[in-house]
Chains A and B, each alone.
Chain A
Amino acid sequence: MPEDYKQTAAEPTKRFLIGKLRAQSLASKVMADHYTELHHASQTGTQKIAWCSSVGPAELLRGMGFLVYFPENHAAMLGAARQSEAVMRYAGQEGYAPEICSYLRSDVGAFQNRMTALSRINKDILSPPHPDVLVYNTNQCRDIKDWFSWYGRRLDVPCIGIQSPRGIDEVTAEYIDSVTKQLQNLIAPLEQISRTKLNMDKLHRTTALSKQCSDLWKRALQTGRTSPSPLSFHAALTLMGPVVTARGTQTAVDFLIALNDELDARISEGVPAIKNERRRIYWDGMPIWSRLAEMHRLFSSVGANITASTYCNSWIFESLDSEHPIPSMAKAYTELFIARSDDAKEQYLRTTAREFRIDGIIFHESKTCPNNSNSRYGMPERLRKSLKIPVMTLYGDHVDGSMTDIERITTQVEAFAEQLDEGTIS
């Protein structure tokens, strides 16, 4: 047996990885400050706290002086830290079936079990900040309302929100008017809870900062159009924390300026996100939070970089307009990818795949997130035909590790890489 060919099996994957962006450490600090501020307010009662769904009316809440807490971010943290597995059963005991959103089950289960992922950030934080109000938008799914309603009953806190249209082909004036009216209807109860009048100047400023945040996030994600890309999906997911939780603040803007500077520097210095980027992948669907690092190593080991994703792009709100904050919020939150029809989604995926010069698309069919799983009605097959590139579906879950078979996923991803690069010996 020729000795020269030894050691090709079980190669260490570390050699495919590039060091972290400095902005990832900055993101961790922004998140730590964010949760510490919320914790302080919760302990002292110095500022009202609103819980908000991740694409809920955060600008409106900030405009009224609320500190804003996003339970979905907490659920993702539970998933990423693999803390969900131990607590989801407590949600089951509350009557929540194992087939429904594992974000909901993780978060509710953690609360029932008196634990929180926030303790990993700051050991003094032993529970999520106590809310004064719970504000949802069903633009992403119905589960968010169920989730917030549970807390409303459990904590005896008002739970209000927006019932968004879903499955939208064209975002018409009727849809926007409906959501605009619902947003306006939130103002009176929120004023009552916050005991302050809505400060329109503050709302304009917050919306302007949100728009700036969105523009900077879009700019950062668009560096993925460069070959090789300076940004990986893994990095983008860790950088998203401030984009989700701090949008509408100067902190988020400052963070994103620093991120863009660093990405620009990487491009000019030719520093890629992964070594040997040979395949550029589009990821549709939820991330697999419980396996983030492993997935990053897996993709990197086969020279594949996920250079664009529906998930990260979903926090780009192009329609926000500080001159018309409430109608523009209504439009931005209604034209969201997840709220659209399959036709609109398919068109978006086609356009984005071409824009980012994608070699292959991967759909993640998340077992407990049907609303963000787009592979069930033939879309992969249609995109394969129209784009003439390989398209594959992976089965897993965004948080529930018991529904994610990493061995099967490994085989599929490696085979997908082989398909993209037929005949290469690993």
Chain B
Amino acid sequence: MSTVFAGIDVGSSATKVALINSNNELKGSATVPTGIQFGPAAKTALQSALDACGREITDVAATVSCGYGRRNVDFADGVQTEIACLAKGIHLSFPEDILVLDLGGRDIKTVEVDASGTFGDFKMNSQCAAGTGVFLEDLAARMQIPIGQFNQLGESASAPVPLGSHCAVFAAGEVLAAAGRGASIENIVLGIYYSMVKKVTEMISHRHNIVISGGVAAHHPIVRRLLTESLGRQVRIPPHAQFTGALGAALFAQKIYTAKEE
């Protein structure tokens, strides 16, 4: 069995692991809830990814960590920010001038990546949960709807309930008021997605081709559709959207290993 390179993205909500081979092919992946123990979450996720592809820890040639808990992965051979890793990971699927919009649990990031894979300007949302996965999760919890049903409910709606606020706290009040007025759950959910899309489009430059990544992109495909409608141009998504950062980290791991070999 050939060796693999591990990328571990210890995000605020989920820890993602991607294992790639020397041909940059994804051989295994796993995601576990991060919780508050970053190191153990990273180890658990790595073991799950290895189990998924029938490999052992000794098959891992090098590991790079990224994400909020990146400094807590004490067995990593290198550390990169998730921004650099997103750029690297997205370039694998889209080797062109692109803007990646990463919709994560706590953060929204945009990163410009050129055709050579070099990343340029990047932005992160200010200290506000608007447009993040937490925004959706909080509202789903308030509505007592499993988050896994949100996308389907949104897709079943006929017309969105307009929400004026991007703030999860104030939006919850508007959701309750809409429910009180008799609005359908589907239309409320679609309104929530519209609110989210409106917020994230503020961060997008009109000069770029857009790709979305992150857990929200992976688990809420409606966001891609609404973004495409809102921007009036095609928004694309990589094959393993939630693992984009982890893939990039794995590519950095490969780079470390190659440098060592040389």
Taking a contact as CB atoms under 8 Å apart, the answer to whether A415 and B127 are in contact is no
User: How many residues on the B side are at the interface (Cβ–Cβ under 8 A)?
Assistant: 40
Taking a contact as CB atoms under 8 Å apart, the answer to whether A2 and B122 are in contact is no
* CB proximity to A under 8 Å, residues B65-117: 65, 68, 70-84, 107
Known contacts being A10-B72, A403-B127, is A5 close to B80, with CB within 8 Å?
Answer: no
Taking a contact as CB atoms under 8 Å apart, the answer to whether A405 and B127 are in contact is yes
Contact among B77, B122, B126, B127 for A419, CB-based, below 8 A: B122
Q: How long is the Cα–Cα vector from A2 to B122 in the complex, in angstroms?
A: 33
Taking a contact as CB atoms under 8 Å apart, the answer to whether B252 and A425 are in contact is yes
Taking a contact as CB atoms under 8 Å apart, the answer to whether B127 and A395 are in contact is yes
Asked if A1 CB lies within 8 Å of chain B CBs, one says yes
Contact among A2, A6, A408, A418 for B124, CB-based, below 8 A: A408
Provide the A387-421 mask, 1 if CB < 8 A to any CB of B, else 0.
00011110100000001010110011011001100
Provide the B38-77 mask, 1 if CB < 8 A to any CB of A, else 0.
0000000000000000000110111111001011111111
Taking a contact as CB atoms under 8 Å apart, the answer to whether A9 and B65 are in contact is yes
Q: How long is the Cα–Cα vector from A403 to B128 in the complex, in angstroms?
A: 11
Q: Nearest Cβ distance between residue B80 and chain A, in whole angstroms?
A: 7
Contact among A8, A412, A422 for B78, CB-based, below 8 A: A8
Chain B interfacial positions (CB closer than 8 Å to A): 57-58, 60-65, 68, 70-84, 107, 118-124, 126-127, 252, 255-257, 259-260
Taking a contact as CB atoms under 8 Å apart, the answer to whether B107 and A425 are in contact is no
Size band of the interface chain A makes with B: 20 to 34
Please name 7 pairs of A and B residues whose Cβ atoms are closer than 8 Å in the assembled complex, sorted by A.
Answer: A2-B77, A10-B72, A395-B126, A411-B124, A419-B83, A425-B80, A425-B256
Taking a contact as CB atoms under 8 Å apart, the answer to whether A10 and B74 are in contact is yes
Contact among B65, B81, B259 for A411, CB-based, below 8 A: B81
Residues of A within 8 A of B259 (CB): 425
Known contacts being A395-B127, A412-B124, A415-B84, is A5 close to B119, with CB within 8 Å?
Answer: no
Asked if A384 CB lies within 8 Å of chain B CBs, one says yes
Taking a contact as CB atoms under 8 Å apart, the answer to whether B107 and A1 are in contact is no
Chain A interfacial positions (CB closer than 8 Å to B): 1-2, 4-6, 8-10, 365, 384, 390-393, 395, 403, 405, 407-408, 411-412, 414-415, 418-419, 422-423, 425-426
Q: Nearest Cβ distance between residue A399 and chain B, in whole angstroms?
A: 16
Residues of B within 8 A of A411 (CB): 68, 81-83, 124
Closest to B70 in A: A9
Q: How long is the Cα–Cα vector from A5 to B260 in the complex, in angstroms?
A: 9
Residues of A within 8 A of B260 (CB): 2, 4-5
Pick the most buried of A4, A5, A407, A414: most chain B CB atoms within 10 A of its CB.
A5
Residues of B within 8 A of A391 (CB): 121
Q: Nearest Cβ distance between residue B97 and chain A, in whole angstroms?
A: 15
Taking a contact as CB atoms under 8 Å apart, the answer to whether A422 and B119 are in contact is yes
Taking a contact as CB atoms under 8 Å apart, the answer to whether A408 and B78 are in contact is no
Contact among A1, A390, A393, A418 for B80, CB-based, below 8 A: A418
Q: Nearest Cβ distance between residue A390 and chain B, in whole angstroms?
A: 7
User: Tally of A-B residue pairs with Cβ under 8 A?
Assistant: 89
Q: How long is the Cα–Cα vector from A386 to B128 in the complex, in angstroms?
A: 30
Q: How long is the Cα–Cα vector from A10 to B107 in the complex, in angstroms?
A: 22
Taking a contact as CB atoms under 8 Å apart, the answer to whether A418 and B83 are in contact is yes
Known contacts being A1-B62, A418-B84, A422-B119, is A9 close to B127, with CB within 8 Å?
Answer: no
Residues of A within 8 A of B65 (CB): 9
Q: Nearest Cβ distance between residue A357 and chain B, in whole angstroms?
A: 20
Q: How long is the Cα–Cα vector from A405 to B257 in the complex, in angstroms?
A: 34
Closest to B78 in A: A425
Residues of B within 8 A of A425 (CB): 64, 78, 80, 252, 255-256, 259
Taking a contact as CB atoms under 8 Å apart, the answer to whether B77 and A6 are in contact is yes
Q: How long is the Cα–Cα vector from A66 to B76 in the complex, in angstroms?
A: 61
Q: How long is the Cα–Cα vector from A423 to B64 in the complex, in angstroms?
A: 13
Contact among B58, B79, B83, B127 for A8, CB-based, below 8 A: B79
Taking a contact as CB atoms under 8 Å apart, the answer to whether B62 and A2 are in contact is yes
Residues of A within 8 A of B79 (CB): 8-9, 426
Query: 10 closest Cβ contacts across the A-B interface?
Result: A5-B77, A415-B83, A415-B81, A395-B126, A418-B84, A425-B78, A10-B71, A9-B76, A414-B81, A9-B79
Taking a contact as CB atoms under 8 Å apart, the answer to whether B80 and A9 are in contact is no
Residues of A within 8 A of B255 (CB): 423, 425
Taking a contact as CB atoms under 8 Å apart, the answer to whether B83 and A9 are in contact is no
Q: Nearest Cβ distance between residue B106 and chain A, in whole angstroms?
A: 9
Taking a contact as CB atoms under 8 Å apart, the answer to whether A415 and B78 are in contact is no
Q: How long is the Cα–Cα vector from A393 to B82 in the complex, in angstroms?
A: 17
Contact among A8, A390, A408, A415 for B76, CB-based, below 8 A: A8
Contact among B58, B122, B252 for A415, CB-based, below 8 A: B122
Q: How long is the Cα–Cα vector from A216 to B218 in the complex, in angstroms?
A: 58
Q: Nearest Cβ distance between residue B249 and chain A, in whole angstroms?
A: 11
Q: Nearest Cβ distance between residue B213 and chain A, in whole angstroms?
A: 16
Q: How long is the Cα–Cα vector from A6 to B70 in the complex, in angstroms?
A: 14
